[in-house]
Amino acid sequence: MPAADEGALWTSLSAAGRLPDRALWGAEASVTLGDLVHGSSLAGRLDELRGRSVLIATTDQLTAALALIELDGVARRLVLCPPDLPVDDLPFVVATAEIDALVSDRPAPAALPGVPLAVPCRASLAPATCERTGRHPTEWILLTSGTSGRPKMVVHQLVSLAGAIRNAGPLSRAGVWSTFYDIRRYGGLQIFLRALLGGGSMVLSSARESTSDFLTRAGAHGVTHISGTPSHWRRALMSPSARRIAPQYVRLSGEIADQSILDHLRACYPGAGIAHAFASTEAGVAFDVGDGLAGFPASLIDRRGGDVEMKIEEGSLRIRSTRTAARYLGDHQPALADRDGFVDTGDVVERRGDRYHFVGRRGGIINVGGLKVHPEEVEAVINGHPHVRMSRVRTRKNPITGALVVADVVLNGGGEPADGRVAEIEREILRRCREALPRHKVPTVLNVVSVLPMAESGKLVRRDA
Amino acid sequence: MSVKVEIVTQFEEVAKQQEKTLAPLSDELVLLDSGLDSLCLAIVVARLEDKLGIDPFTADDAEFPVTLGDFIRVYEDARR
């Protein structure tokens, strides 16, 4: 298996061989890697993008995948625009990443102010022979949710993203990979790179496709390795098509995998190895657990040497590894790691016997089906209502999505105004939230309360971990 | 109110609140074809916990319902 640092993505995936037999299957179109030898998704205009900072803003995962394959080693920087990035955040992303080219699959992409070049990206390849050898150690920028409401932009390179793949052993064997994730998020990108660097193919999911149709399609392509969050898997198990796939390997990441979901997957896919992984966009992939039990062995902690070192400080898991992101992009950003190179994941763990279990997040971060919500960004929207004095956004456990967002709100005047008015204010607050926030961040319940618990520090008590 | 009526009410209310088009409800309806996505179903389960005082899906041996009929049965069984 080729080491990713020997060259750009195209060079490395080519070294795994069998290009004509390997495919990327989207919901609406597909491309074999062999097609890319003399074809280009970028209309053969790769040279125009050389050395540039490129925003990959496609509607489809397949076109994003093709652009990544063609541009690694060629562009200076690739910014992967996640599917739900609010349009209002685009100017911030463009400025912070110094974007000077846009790659889009829209028929007539709207011009982005300050971006001089736009190149179309199509799954129907144009005949072109492109020089894709690595000249640039391309930066890959992944976006994650930030406290301020602005996305945090996390800087990786192919070598850090692929760090967990090189030593993946039997997992790296050629196969048909798939994931419920979008490949423009860290969890999905890992699977995409595993498929490409390990000599396999991949079935890409689509937001426009039902769970049932996706499972049927993945099954038809003979999927062997498939990943998703516990919430993705709960949804899959609620589908009549759950048994349309017969994978050898089932992977969970992005949320706490409880014993119930692990047991259900074992029952549904008795022939599959079932592993849950811990990874974050910032810290990279830390470990896989394959023994079918929730939590992870305590022996993984404080082990010296190796690719990944983990320790627990102030209750939360800290990780130092070659797979850790380099930094956050932009001025005045907090350091991503401490002085010793450890990233604080913010995930609080508790030891029970010889295993550690994840019990929640410090700082009250809420994980709704694998998507992070910072309470502060929701509180900021709620507090903008003229009748709100203060609010606290917290998590509520849920068996379908792991967690839901709940808000406690104190209105001006402390006590409750007349009943009819409270209901009206609640509706107004929720309307504001729906207008300003993605769906998963909108509180599902809003409680009007007379007082919120404060710590002696004067800070709101956040007691979710 | 019967469990079934409460469940149907919550499906309808959450669909309206989340601006989803609800499929005609029947016992045979596959939940994932109901027009409600995972987030909507999560909200339904949370609201039912508030209304009925039970969350049958949190138990370790809880099953994953495929149809609306399965879903209602899980709640009816939990109430017994």
Q: Which of A85, A259, A53, A228 is nearest to A155 (CA)?
A: A53
- Asked if residue A461 is part of any domain, the answer here is no
pLDDT of residue A2: 38
- Asked if residue A406 is part of any domain, the answer here is yes
Percent of residues, chain A, with pLDDT higher than 90: 65
Report residue A460's pLDDT band, with 50, 70 and 90 as the boundaries: low
Distance CA A381, CA A199 (A): 47
Residue A462 scores a pLDDT above 70: no
The total domain count for chain A is 2
Say yes or no: A271 and A198 in one domain.
Answer: yes
Say yes or no: A163 and A222 in one domain.
Answer: yes
Residue A463 scores a pLDDT above 60: no
Report residue A319's pLDDT band, with 50, 70 and 90 as the boundaries: very high
Distance CA B15, CA B70 (A): 19
DSSP A114: T
Residue A268 scores a pLDDT above 90: yes
Q: How many CA atoms lie within 13 A of B46 on its CB side?
A: 23
pLDDT tens-digit readout, A118-128: 999 999 999 98
Alpha-helical runs (H) found in chain B: 3-17, 38-52, 68-79
- Asked if residue A191 is part of any domain, the answer here is yes
- Answer whether B66 sits within 8 Å of A231, measured CB to CB: no
User: Which one is predicted more confidently, A376 or A33?
Assistant: A33
* Chain A contact present for B33, CB below 8 A: yes
- Answer whether A239 sits within 8 Å of B38, measured CB to CB: no
User: Which one is predicted more confidently, A216 or A111?
Assistant: A216
Listed in sequence order, the residues at least 6 apart from A34 whose beta carbon sits closer than 8 Å to its beta carbon are A19, A20, A21, A22
pLDDT of residue A355: 96
Question: Which residue, among A398, A404, A430, A441, would best test binding to B if mutated, counting the most B CBs under 10 Å from its CB?
Answer: A398
Question: Which residue, among B17, B28, B39, would best test binding to A if mutated, counting the most A CBs under 10 Å from its CB?
Answer: B39
Cα dihedral across residues B23, B24, B28, B31: positive or negative: positive
pLDDT of residue A3: 39
- Answer whether A404 sits within 8 Å of B55, measured CB to CB: no
Percent of residues, chain A, with pLDDT higher than 70: 92
Which two tokens mark A163? 């760090």
**Got the DSSP string for A419-437?**
HHHHHHHHHHHHHHHHHHS
Q: How many CA atoms lie within 13 A of B5 on its CB side?
A: 2
Say yes or no: A128 and A233 in one domain.
Answer: yes
pLDDT of residue A459: 62
Say yes or no: A417 and A298 in one domain.
Answer: no
Cα dihedral across residues B28, B31, B34, B40: positive or negative: positive
Which two tokens mark A101? 């080219």
Three-state DSSP class for residue A406:
strand
What is the pLDDT averaged over residues A327-336?
88
Q: Which of B30, B39, B15, B36 is nearest to B71 (CA)?
A: B30
- Write the CA distances from A182 to A161, A188, A246, integer angstroms: 16, 5, 21
pLDDT of residue A204: 98
- Answer whether B66 sits within 8 Å of A240, measured CB to CB: yes
pLDDT of residue A189: 96
| DSSP-assigned beta bridge partners for residue A252 | A228, A276
Residue with tokens 């010296």: A304
* Chain B contact present for A240, CB below 8 A: yes
Residue A133 scores a pLDDT above 90: no
Among candidate residues A348, A379, A413, the one where a domain is terminated: A348
pLDDT of residue A1: 37
Say yes or no: A309 and A378 in one domain.
Answer: no
Give this complex's ipTM.
0.93
pLDDT tens-digit readout, A302-314: 888 788 999 999 8
Length of chain A counted residue by residue: 465
pLDDT tens-digit readout, A203-260: 999 989 999 999 999 999 999 999 999 989 988 999 999 999 999 999 999 888 889 8
Q: What average pLDDT is seen over chain A? A: 89
- Asked if residue A463 is part of any domain, the answer here is no
Distance CA A81, CA A99 (A): 12
Residue A296 scores a pLDDT above 50: yes
Residue A430 scores a pLDDT above 90: yes
CA end-to-end span of chain B, whole Å?
Answer: 15
- Asked if residue A85 is part of any domain, the answer here is yes
Say yes or no: A60 and A158 in one domain.
Answer: yes
What is the pLDDT averaged over residues B50-77?
88
Distance CA A196, CA A208 (A): 24
What is the pLDDT averaged over residues A445-451?
88
Which two tokens mark A33? 């890697």
Give the CATH number, domain containing residue A425: 3.30.300.30
Distance CA A286, CA A297 (A): 13
What is the pLDDT averaged over residues A152-158?
94
- Nearest C-alpha in B relative to A440: B39
Q: Where in the sequence is the domain holding A394, given as residue range(s)? A: 365-449
- Asked if residue A309 is part of any domain, the answer here is yes
* Chain B contact present for A261, CB below 8 A: no
Give the CATH number, domain containing residue A109: 3.40.50.12780
Residue A150 scores a pLDDT above 50: yes
Query: What residues in A contact B42, CB-CB < 8 Å?
Result: 369, 398-401, 404, 444
Question: Which residue, among A444, A445, A446, A447, would best test binding to B if mutated, counting the most B CBs under 10 Å from its CB?
Answer: A444
Report residue A458's pLDDT band, with 50, 70 and 90 as the boundaries: low
Say yes or no: A91 and A152 in one domain.
Answer: yes
Q: What is the dihedral of CA A300, A161, A143, A199, to 10 degrees?
A: -120
- Asked if residue A70 is part of any domain, the answer here is yes
pLDDT of residue B80: 80
Residue A171 scores a pLDDT above 80: no
Q: Which of A353, A342, A244 is nearest to A302 (CA)?
A: A342
Distance CA A5, CA A159 (A): 5
pLDDT of residue A84: 82
- Asked if residue A100 is part of any domain, the answer here is yes
- Write the CA distances from A252 to A201, A294, B22, integer angstroms: 20, 11, 30
Say yes or no: A381 and A328 in one domain.
Answer: no
Say yes or no: A335 and A398 in one domain.
Answer: no
pLDDT of residue A420: 66
What is the pLDDT averaged over residues B5-27?
95
* b/e per residue B50-71 (b: at least 16 CB within 10 A): eebeebbbeeeeebbbbbbeeb
pLDDT tens-digit readout, B19-45: 999 999 999 999 999 999 999 999 999
CATH H-level superfamily of B3-79: ACP-like (1.10.1200.10)
Residue A408 scores a pLDDT above 70: yes
Report residue A274's pLDDT band, with 50, 70 and 90 as the boundaries: very high
Say yes or no: A80 and A171 in one domain.
Answer: yes
Which two tokens mark A294? 């929730």
Residue A367: phi, psi to the nearest 5?
Answer: -110, 100
Distance CA A347, CA A210 (A): 32
Report residue B59's pLDDT band, with 50, 70 and 90 as the boundaries: confident
